């Protein structure tokens, strides 16, 4: 199985991704690090532990940054739910280690080397810190995936900026400059939808599936969701980790706007090569949505069946 360290801010779509990753036979979750984003880092850490305990998994969780590098944090409980998550979850009993998330990222990279993939699906604060501590991180590990940004699509928190990048543009900028990430942004995650019929079938099965259904339904109570169903952004990363044919990537030179102006936190993707700069980012531009849904269902079903 593919060893993956998840840096996350659960968050309902994070919860779906994490549960499906824990359940999926093709993925070995070697660690979970938490960051502020959808809610405070206290809440995201609590939620991460609760997701593990709901499924009966024991994976070390390390708490990370409580605020972005430069910007103020903008949380999103209004969409993800009070405490940053929806559904019935156990009150977690497990301990959180003293080691900071950024140190865990560096340590696990050194331990697992090119057997490890890092998947960051919240603001990139922890990953940027890890890069500052260990600039060779991208050469040490197999791959670095991030959910965030929008290269050619519009934004979701401003007309041009996506939430994770907008929360910490300085961190996103560092990661894009130095980590040669696979950027899984709104260009594909808007289409990473789960149909309402699937959500209803989970509701009918009850138990853990009911909690999963509440995560999947998350945006529908707060914003308009069309009949293709809610976009479960973070899970698009997992689908490609399991089956690399799920997403199509193209290499581009990208910069993150950290100007503080109206396009703050947005991605400037040089799709026509006008800057004459070497590509620094693999940008996801197409998703096999049927395959995506299959992988997510495989993982969630195994997680719920434990
Ligand atoms: C991203 O922002 C967060 O609200 C979600 O968890 C996801 O990581 C989508 O823009
Ligand atoms: Ca997230």
The pLDDT tens digits for 68-119 are: 999 999 999 999 999 999 999 999 987 788 999 999 999 999 999 999 999 9
| Amino acid 186: pLDDT | 98
Average pLDDT over residues 215-237: 92
Residues, Cβ < 5 Å to ion ligand 2: 9, 11, 14, 121-122, 234
| Amino acid 220: pLDDT | 81
Average pLDDT over residues 245-273: 98
Burial label for 125, CB within 10 Å (0-12, 13-18, 19+), is buried
Condensed to tens digits (0 to 9), the pLDDT of residues 190-210 reads 999 999 999 999 999 999 999
Average pLDDT over residues 29-35: 98
Q: Say yes or no: CB of residue 171 within 6 Å of ligand 1.
A: no
Average pLDDT over residues 141-145: 98
Burial label for 130, CB within 10 Å (0-12, 13-18, 19+), is buried
| Amino acid 79: pLDDT | 93
| Amino acid 222: pLDDT | 81
At 101, phi and psi to the nearest 5? Answer: -50, -45
Ligand found nearest the CA of 9: 2
Condensed to tens digits (0 to 9), the pLDDT of residues 115-138 reads 999 999 999 999 999 999 999 999
Q: Is the ipTM of this complex over 0.90?
A: yes
Closest by Cα among 210, 234, 218 to 86: 218
| Amino acid 52: pLDDT | 97
Whether the Cβ atoms of residue 119 and residue 22 lie closer than 8 Å to each other: no
Q: Is the pLDDT of residue 157 over 80?
A: yes
Question: pLDDT exceeding 70 applies to what percent of the chain?
Answer: 100
Mean per-residue pLDDT of the chain: 97
Q: Can you give the C-alpha Rg of the chain in angstroms? A: 17
| Amino acid 24: pLDDT | 98
Q: Say yes or no: CB of residue 7 within 6 Å of ligand 1.
A: no
* Residue 272 appears among annotated catalytic residues: no
| Amino acid 94: pLDDT | 76
Q: Is the pLDDT of residue 13 over 80?
A: yes
Q: Say yes or no: CB of residue 163 within 6 Å of ligand 1.
A: yes
| Amino acid 254: pLDDT | 98
Secondary structure of residue 239 in the 3-state scheme: helix
Q: How far apart are the first and last CA of the chain?
A: 19
Q: How far is it, in rounded angstroms, from Cα 68 to Cα 35?
A: 9
Q: Is the pLDDT of residue 223 over 80?
A: yes
Secondary structure of residue 223 in the 3-state scheme: coil
| Other Cβ atoms within 10 Å of 284 Cβ, number | 26
Q: Is the pLDDT of residue 158 over 80?
A: yes
Give the active site residue among 24, 112, 233, 264: 233
Q: Say yes or no: CB of residue 233 within 6 Å of ligand 1.
A: yes
Ligand found nearest the CA of 190: 1
Nearest CA to ligand 1 atom 4: 38
Q: Say yes or no: CB of residue 13 within 6 Å of ligand 1.
A: yes
- Choice among 41-50, 131-140, 212-221 with the minimum mean pLDDT: 212-221
Query: In angstroms, what is the span from residue 273 Cα to ligand 2's centroid?
Result: 30
Average pLDDT over residues 9-32: 98
Closest by Cα among 115, 139, 120 to 2: 115
| Amino acid 141: pLDDT | 98
pTM: 0.97
Question: pLDDT exceeding 90 applies to what percent of the chain?
Answer: 95
Q: Which tops the pLDDT comparison, 97 or 186?
A: 186
What's the pLDDT band for 262 if we cut at 50, 70, 90?
very high
Whether the Cβ atoms of residue 218 and residue 211 lie closer than 8 Å to each other: no
């Amino acid at each position: 199985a593919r060893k993956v360290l998840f840096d996350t801010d659960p968050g309902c779509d994070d919860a779906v991704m994490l549960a499906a990753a824990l359940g999926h036979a093709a993925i070995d979750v070697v660690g979970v690090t938490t960051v502020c984003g959808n809610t405070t880092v206290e809440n995201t850490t609590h939620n991460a532990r609760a997701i593990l305990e709901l499924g009966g998994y024991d994976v070390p969780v390390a708490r990370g940054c409580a605020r972005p590098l430069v910007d103020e944090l903008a949380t999103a409980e209004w969409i993800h739910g009070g405490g940053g998550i929806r559904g019935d979850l156990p009150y977690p009993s497990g301990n959180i280690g003293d080691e900071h998330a950024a140190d865990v990222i560096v340590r696990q990279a050194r331990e697992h080397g090119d057997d490890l993939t890092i998947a960051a699906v919240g603001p990139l604060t922890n990953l940027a810190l890890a890069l500052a501590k260990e600039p060779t991180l991208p050469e040490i590990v197999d791959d670095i995936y991030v959910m965030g940004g929008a290269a050619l699509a519009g934004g979701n928190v401003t007309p041009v900026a996506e939430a994770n990048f907008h929360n910490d543009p300085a961190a996103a900028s560092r990661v894009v400059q130095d980590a040669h990430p696979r950027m899984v942004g709104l260009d594909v995650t808007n289409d990473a939808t789960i149909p309402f019929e699937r959500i209803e079938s989970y509701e009918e099965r009850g138990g853990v599936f009911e909690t999963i259904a509440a995560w999947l339904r998350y945006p529908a109570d707060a914003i308009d969701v069309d009949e293709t169903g809610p976009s479960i952004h973070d899970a698009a990363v997992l689908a490609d980790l399991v089956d690399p044919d799920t997403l199509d990537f193209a290499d581009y030179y990208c910069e993150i706007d950290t100007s503080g102006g109206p396009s703050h936190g947005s991605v400037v993707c040089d799709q026509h090569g006008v800057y004459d700069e070497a590509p620094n980012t693999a940008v996801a531009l197409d998703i096999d949505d049927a395959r995506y849904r299959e992988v997510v269902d495989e993982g969630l079903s195994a997680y719920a069946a434990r």
